[in-house]
Amino acid sequence: MITAVGDAPKTALVYGGSRGIGAAIVSRLVEDGYAVAFTFASRADTARDLASALEARGGRATAIQADSADPAAIRTAADAAGERLGSIGLVVVNAGILKLGTVDAVSLDDLNLMIDVNIRGVFLAVQAALPHVSDGGRVVTIGSCSAEWTGFAGSSVYQFTKAAVAAMAKGLARDLAPRKITVNNVQPGPTRTDLSAGFIDTLSERSPLKRIAEPAEIAGLVSYLARAEAGFMTGASLTMDGGLTL
């Protein structure tokens, strides 16, 4: 039986939940007792394996295919999650894309794709989910510490898309405050995912803590933001980067 935390049911929709940080968030929420629907853009086998593993442990997890660059797919996924879960207590928008290139080399296609997924897709994901979100619910976006820090040349587009997400969280928090829905933005630093493979030693050396984050650590912060005791925090961007931006 699904129980409630505060005024919101323990149901969650995670956009971009099949791998890396997203998969860790899905796993943690299931561990916390949530029934979770999560989206994936490709690699249906990976998504099915995650859902099957969680259900084998007694959890409830459903994979839904949706490309976060496609507005129609975003809406369809939100409606499907609403049908399967009923009222949704938590929405996590983790879907994102990184393509590197200095300003003289970024193609129009790459520029548009990062804007479409990292900015437009985040906004539309929240917008599409809202009809299914209960009053008193939670929205968490996954940004990046790059919103505050340019670590290397070639990341300008990614940086400004993540800065836009941080600004967006503030505006959405105002919009949704009358419904007692909080909106917060988590900004991870370098984390052990597919994107960091091959760069772990370099990234670790830059960190004051001399390591990168584990996906489960990011998931733990999302878990906190979903709890009743985080109900007075909204519009915040919480940077979790091991001191990289100090």
Nearest Cα neighbor of 132 from 68, 89, 95 is: 89
Question: What residues contact residue 74 under an 8 Å CB cut-off, 6+ apart?
Answer: 15, 66, 68, 121, 124, 125, 128
The catalytic site residues sit at 158
What is the H or E stretch that residue 37 is in?
strand 35-40
Length of the chain counted residue by residue = 246
* H or E element at residue 73: helix 71-85
Please tell me what DSSP assigns to residue 119. Answer: I
Separation between Cα atoms, residue 216 and residue 213, nearest integer Å: 8
Closest CA to 183 of 235, 131, 113: 235
